[in-house]
Structure 1
Amino acid sequence: MSHNTDQDPNGLKDDALAASSTPESIADGVDEEVVESNRRLFVGWQFFLFAALAVAYSGFHLFSLNVYPMETWSFRIVHIAGALILGYGLFAGARFAEDDQQASPAWLKWVSYALLAPAVYSLVQVFLMQQTINGGAMRIDPAVETLHFGYPLMATTAGAIVLSWFYRQARHRFNPADLVLMVCALASAGYLLMAFNTNMRMSTGTSFAPPGISWAAIAGSLLILELTRRVAGLALVVISAVFLTYVFAGPYLPGFLGYPGLSVQRFFSQVYTDAGILGPTTAVSSTYIILFIIFAAFLQASKVGDYFVNFAFAAAGRTRGGPAKVAIFASGLMGMINGTSAGNVVSTGSLTIPLMKKVGYPARSAGAIEAAASTGGQIMPPIMGAGAFIMAEVTGIPYTEIAIAAIIPAILYFASIYFMVDFEAARKGMRGMRKDEIPLFSKLVKQVYLFAPIIILIAALFMGYSVIRAGTLATASAAVVSWLSPNKMGLRAILRALQLAGTMSIQIIAVCACAGLIVGVISLTGVGARFSSLLLGLAGVSQLLALFFAMLISIMLGMGMPTTAAYAVAASVVAPGLINIGIEPLTAHFFVFYFAVVSAITPPVALASYAAAGISGDNPMGTSVASFKIGLAAFIVPFMFFYSPAMLMEGTAMQILRVGLTATLGIVLLSGMVQKWFFGPVNSPQRLVMLVGAMFLIYGGIYTDIAGLAIATVLFIMQRKLHGGKGKATASAA
């Protein structure tokens, strides 16, 4: 609706263009699917084939989780095999050819098709072995398993993986080498399904285990590692390779790293069980994560993401540095259901980063703010990305308790970013967006019902529904609520959402399976127990030293890795050691979880910061350093979990309220210290005093709180006397 706008905060007269109209929406396309650079874009029958496979994959999980449950190991094997088949169909192993001249030579194509014969042969052998078992045999002849299944499967898996690295073709074409890998995934999963549903399951990890289990596990592990490389990069694959090397090199290492050793057969016959790949990480990805990806896909299909971002613009766009504050709100809303920090940067940052630059933020600050805010989405209850589901699985603590415990830390993190942004905007004299540049809040409030699916999810969880039931109910409500909005979900939109969910899930499932491989190494070799003894020794010197060492290990293990994998690995290596030195399980796992999350903005390998730098156009390393500074609170608050358990909602109501309020004030002082601004410029001596006051307030003790409040009061009085007039002026601008 057209209307005349008021004079903007800078006193500039409205011209004819500015007076034209208030935009209905400025966020358009936040819900658009992000297409990775190596994802194939099929056309014709191939598009419909893989769309149908993705829909069937999502539908299978909804059916199994809510209607007809499968046996646990079988369900997880099918879960991983489906992701492998979809992943190799959709994601190429090499860059696409831009024209026919760059395409691979014909002989690569024919070699790939030649490998299809032994791959199919190994798959046929699985059916023949199944018939033998059904005929009453207790096990298969080891020579048959090795010669007719193991060797063909291994040769074709390894050969097709290598060929796929060099096979280049147009983006809409399918690769025969990847077809071979899809057949190998079927053969590997088929054998494991057969073996694990017989008495052979009891022999895993022993010298009596059938060799076929080891061959299937080796091929399956290679397939998981290669798909992880395609969808998540080399970092996790390299770390996995280091751990796998340790399995066989460990007996020759000196000191606490040495261990007796495992044979290839004993290790691989057990690593593809619930001690490794089929363990906690896959347990979570096959239940909670896939369900919430479907939920996010339904929200995306009904354009709720666009609404979230527009709502954030209407609520915060006019404050000083408005787009930066919008990034905080929007990234918090999107990030908790997005699942990855870098993915959140791409979805919301493409809109907020250019707008931040427009109102005066340098490219580096704009990228850093978006990276820090998007990373915070992973610690934002109630969904908290995917890591919190793994925490519930590993610790046995109910998910609702974990979500409640996360409230104060999340408030502190986002308060830190907010005040960092606000003080920088005040110091640089930035304006907010004009009234005619943002949607009308009064219009968006009329569509507040679009928050209903998330409210229903929270209510169902706290009413005692299981996470699966609550997630399914929220997903259904997203489709129902869409009928009240302009983006109604019919049958086609629902199928599109299921297809989108199947595609979106590939990365996180590959990452969880790969993390399970690392967890398997840790549990089967006992390296986690040796790290625990190391932490115990450090704790004898100083518990703070042990916590600092645990922080460094958690960050190093998380560098370059998605949040889910980073936490899963750190929880296996570091958390048991923290528990052994007397820290409560919830506190220990939250400590590890926070540092695994913030590894996404920690130099030198900061995935979220690098993604933001790609949009802002600034130097990636400079952006990661700046985002580290903005997210500084996340590196301090976890230490306070140990010294002040009330931060995790453990204590009386008064203790929790006091700690929450004083810690928030401490975060304000910390932000002012970093940005050199409070009510006005802050000199070096004042910054030092602010840092001391901030640490006292964040610490959480009653005496340190009193001392911190005294320092904050003195600083407040000094700043008001020095900059009272300016403070009022900037406050009115905000």
Structure 2
Amino acid sequence: MRQPSDPETVMGDNHHQSLIEQETARANVDEEPLSANQRDFDGTRNWVIAILCASYTVFHLAVMNVYPLETWAYRLSHVGGGLALGFLLYSSTRFSDAMSKRSPLSMALLALAGAGILYGFAGVAAIWINGTILGERLPPAWAMQSFGLPLALGTGLAILNGWLFPDRNRARFDAGDVLLAIATIAAIGYIIFFARQLQLRAGMPMALPGDMWASITGVMLIIELTRRLAGMALVIIVGIFVAYAFLGPWLPGIFQHRGYDAKRFFSYIFTDNGILSAPIAISSTYIILFVVFAAFLQTTRVGEYFVNLAFAAAGHKRGGPAKVAIFASGLMGMINGTSAGNVVATGSLTIPMMKKVGYKPQTSASVEAAASTGGQIMPPIMGAGAFIMAEITGISYMEIVYAAIIPAVIYFISVYFMVDLAAQKADMKGLPRDQLPKLNVLIKQVYLFSPILVLIGALFAGYSVIRCGTYAMMAAAVVSWFTPHAMGPARLFHALDQGARMVLQLVAVCATAGIIVGVIALTGIGARFSTVLLSLADQSQIFALFFAMVVSIILGMGMPTTAAYAVAASVIAPGVINLGVEPLVAHLFIFYFAVMSAITPPVALAAYAGSALAGSDPVRTSVESFRIGLAAFVVPYMFFFSPAMLLDGAWHEILHVAVTAVIGVYLLSCAVQGWFLGHANMVLRGLLALGGLSMIAGGWLSDGIGIGVAALCFFFQKQSHPAPSQD
């Protein structure tokens, strides 16, 4: 639901609309959606979708804070509601203004799909009515025996229709997508109703045919929504895993297993061993909580204040807008849990400003992508990564947060070095002060940082994460009353609506990741892969970590970082830990590389999102974002060699590794940018890279070598570029 663009900004200067304010106003015109399925709403459909989305958000907040539900029922409601809303949102998109006639084949497919889905829905409704309203112990025989196959076939035909005939006018809800929403209600409704019994019989010979057909329908719906919202890469990956569950007896070597029939496999997948496992457990709590918090910050324009303050403080400096992007994108990326989504949310403002001071479109998009991706590794939220890690490992949340502080800070320092050196090399200037927000005005509004301070303070005070996120949302609503964008009922409704829309992609991909996790658990491929990893590494921890890095990046190229980490941790972490690597080190290592896959060619989703905003070449942008974020590929090895970087050691050890790590990433940044005291030739760049890499191990000897190489480069450049005479 659109909010009218307000000419005022948080800066409060109504007489002079600066360049930043103009860009902000333009960005706010389309600030809400992140994808095509969230555009072009109007009329009754808009209100229907908005009310459903707001209700979805309120349901989650109520369950987390007021009225807890049984775990399975809550997670299934989270998945089912997300699927149904996702299909209706997709249906609400107008692809064209011209009316298009539906082909006879499409009409036939929809007729058959409708018959099957509606029959299946009637069967599930009869089961519900019989068991809940009439109180009968046994459901009607016809419903239990015959609802499933028509429901699954009808769902398959509706999905096929969507694949074959996607380009239709969407002036009203599309019949095929409404049918998919109904199929979702039927399949998930059946599983919720029989959740307790399903827990006992899932994956066993006693599983019922209805369990299988409802689960098959649910899996098809999850994969289809993932295709629509996240693309084909993850769909192909999950398709390979599902096929593997059935083809095991005919595969060679470690891939061979005894195989599973459909009834056992699909009923097993829809349990907390699969779809309802850690990814959905986190998606239904922490992810939706902090995505809604981000929606509150956007709706009240409190998030905009962070960007404006950064521009006021650093916008006039060399390469200022790029440095602002590092701060603002890192802060928001920490909260909203998706690298590409954060690029779109903050890049609509920062990328145009970088271009205005002389950064190439490609570089502007690359800086934004690197900074937004880095937000995923920044405590205390880490884009929900800390919560997933705590869930998987059993390590306390606060221990993970403390350990991640220095590596995250070093990453952002390295990105800052990259930006500053690039600005020096191109002799860039900052923006004129008269085109920037007034720092003295913004300082008076520093209370707008209260939501972040409340969040961090409550976390470190020991409150539950859910309570902390709720308090932070309340703080955002309260402080908005001191701005022109006070959160009244309309803005509150808008924030609840947008929170649901922003989280739907993550619901789909987390459920899909759960399918992969379920296959790994059922077939035991994770343990066998770990065994192979150990044999390839030949008891070498560093080789094992290298393989872990490669697998994490490859998995991350096909799915959002949250899901990539969950899958990679299931496959790789056990083997690495068996080699003697500390569990926290192993999981942080895997998590970092899963996150950095978003800026790693050839499939760098965050870089692609930035290139779309900047109008740059996607491939070149992905290569440059990889270069800018290069330190993230070094930092995990640093904390492997030096546990003190994870705050595991005496204070002087921690200080030593932190300082030398900063020097190391500075030398690497100079090597990448080709600029030290001046232009650096290839020989000098090679020496700088050698000096930076030598400081990875964190030992006194290796650090001494690095500093010695740096001193040699300094002396050489001083001789090559003497200071100009003062006379």
2:323 maps to which residue?
325
Tell whether the 8 Å contact from 2:93 to 2:170 is kept in structure 1 after alignment: no
Q: What pairs with 1:699-714 in structure 2 (closer than 5 Å)?
A: 699-714=697-712
2:407 is equivalent to residue 416 of structure 1: no
Q: Letter of the aligned partner of 1:682 in structure 2?
A: A
Distance in structure 2 (CA, Å) of the matches to 1:359 and 1:53: 43
Tell whether the 8 Å contact from 1:92 to 1:230 is kept in structure 2 after alignment: no
Q: 1:126 to 1:491 in 2, by over 3 A?
A: same
2:77 is equivalent to residue 78 of structure 1: yes
Distance in structure 2 (CA, Å) of the matches to 1:576 and 1:254: 23
Among 18, 24, 28, the alignment partner of 2:24 is: 28
Q: What pairs with 1:298-697 in structure 2 (closer than 5 Å)?
A: 298-540=296-538, 542-697=540-695
Deviation at 1:718, TM superposition (A): 4.1
2:3 maps to which residue?
none
Q: 1:625 to 1:336 in 2, by over 3 A?
A: same
Distance in structure 1 (CA, Å) of the matches to 2:135 and 2:208: 17
Tell whether the 8 Å contact from 2:110 to 2:158 is kept in structure 1 after alignment: yes
1:5 maps to which residue?
none
Q: What pairs with 1:250-289 in structure 2 (closer than 5 Å)?
A: 250-289=248-287
Q: 1:667 to 1:205 in 2, by over 3 A?
A: same
Match of 1:406, SS state, is helix
Q: Letter of the aligned partner of 1:611 in structure 2?
A: A
Distance in structure 2 (CA, Å) of the matches to 1:564 and 1:342: 12
1:184 maps to which residue?
183
Distance in structure 1 (CA, Å) of the matches to 2:579 and 2:599: 28
Deviation at 1:167, TM superposition (A): 4.8
Tell whether the 8 Å contact from 1:270 to 1:276 is kept in structure 2 after alignment: yes
1:14 maps to which residue?
none
Distance in structure 2 (CA, Å) of the matches to 1:631 and 1:323: 18
Tell whether the 8 Å contact from 1:666 to 1:695 is kept in structure 2 after alignment: yes
* Identical amino acids, percent of aligned pairs: 52
Tell whether the 8 Å contact from 1:77 to 1:193 is kept in structure 2 after alignment: yes
Distance in structure 2 (CA, Å) of the matches to 1:94 and 1:212: 34
1:8 maps to which residue?
none
Q: Letter of the aligned partner of 1:638 in structure 2?
A: P
Deviation at 1:505, TM superposition (A): 1.3
Deviation at 1:41, TM superposition (A): 3.4
Tell whether the 8 Å contact from 1:528 to 1:572 is kept in structure 2 after alignment: yes
Q: What pairs with 1:210-249 in structure 2 (closer than 5 Å)?
A: 210-249=208-247
Match of 1:276, SS state, is coil
Q: List runs of 5+ in structure 1 lacking aligned partners.
A: 1-18, 729-734
Q: What pairs with 1:717-732 in structure 2 (closer than 5 Å)?
A: 717-723=715-721, 725=723
Tell whether the 8 Å contact from 1:21 to 1:436 is kept in structure 2 after alignment: no
Distance in structure 1 (CA, Å) of the matches to 2:47 and 2:444: 38
Question: Which shows bigger deviation, 70-79 or 330-339?
Answer: 330-339
Distance in structure 1 (CA, Å) of the matches to 2:169 and 2:319: 44
Question: Which shows bigger deviation, 106-115 or 582-591?
Answer: 106-115
1:52 maps to which residue?
51
2:36 maps to which residue?
37
Deviation at 1:362, TM superposition (A): 2.3
Q: 1:500 to 1:302 in 2, by over 3 A?
A: same
2:60 is equivalent to residue 61 of structure 1: yes
Match of 2:219, SS state, is helix
Deviation at 1:262, TM superposition (A): 1.3
Tell whether the 8 Å contact from 1:312 to 1:330 is kept in structure 2 after alignment: yes
Distance in structure 1 (CA, Å) of the matches to 2:96 and 2:17: 46
Distance in structure 2 (CA, Å) of the matches to 1:666 and 1:114: 64
Q: Letter of the aligned partner of 1:81 in structure 2?
A: G
1:698 maps to which residue?
696
1:3 maps to which residue?
none
Tell whether the 8 Å contact from 1:27 to 1:309 is kept in structure 2 after alignment: no
Question: Number of residues paired by the alignment?
Answer: 707
Deviation at 1:416, TM superposition (A): 1.3
Distance in structure 1 (CA, Å) of the matches to 2:567 and 2:575: 13
Task: Provide the aligned C-alpha RMSD in A.
Answer: 2.4
Distance in structure 2 (CA, Å) of the matches to 1:553 and 1:304: 39
Q: List runs of 5+ in structure 2 lacking aligned partners.
A: 1-14
What's the TM-score once normalised by structure 1's chain length? 0.92
Match of 2:331, SS state, is helix
Tell whether the 8 Å contact from 1:41 to 1:172 is kept in structure 2 after alignment: no
Deviation at 1:27, TM superposition (A): 4.9
2:173 is equivalent to residue 174 of structure 1: yes
Distance in structure 2 (CA, Å) of the matches to 1:483 and 1:228: 38
String of CA shifts for 1:476-515, please: whole Å, max 9, x gaps.
1110111112210011111111111111111111111111
Q: Letter of the aligned partner of 2:509 in structure 1?
A: V
Tell whether the 8 Å contact from 2:112 to 2:157 is kept in structure 1 after alignment: no
2:123 is equivalent to residue 125 of structure 1: yes
Distance in structure 1 (CA, Å) of the matches to 2:17 and 2:505: 42
Tell whether the 8 Å contact from 1:26 to 1:439 is kept in structure 2 after alignment: no
Deviation at 1:596, TM superposition (A): 0.7
String of CA shifts for 1:144-180, please: whole Å, max 9, x gaps.
534x211111111111111223154334421111111
1:6 maps to which residue?
none
What's the TM-score once normalised by structure 2's chain length? 0.93
1:193 maps to which residue?
192
Tell whether the 8 Å contact from 1:479 to 1:489 is kept in structure 2 after alignment: yes
Distance in structure 2 (CA, Å) of the matches to 1:312 and 1:659: 29
Distance in structure 2 (CA, Å) of the matches to 1:454 and 1:472: 12
Tell whether the 8 Å contact from 1:291 to 1:472 is kept in structure 2 after alignment: yes
Deviation at 1:538, TM superposition (A): 2.5
Question: Which shows bigger deviation, 50-59 or 429-438?
Answer: 429-438
Deviation at 1:61, TM superposition (A): 0.6
Distance in structure 1 (CA, Å) of the matches to 2:628 and 2:281: 35
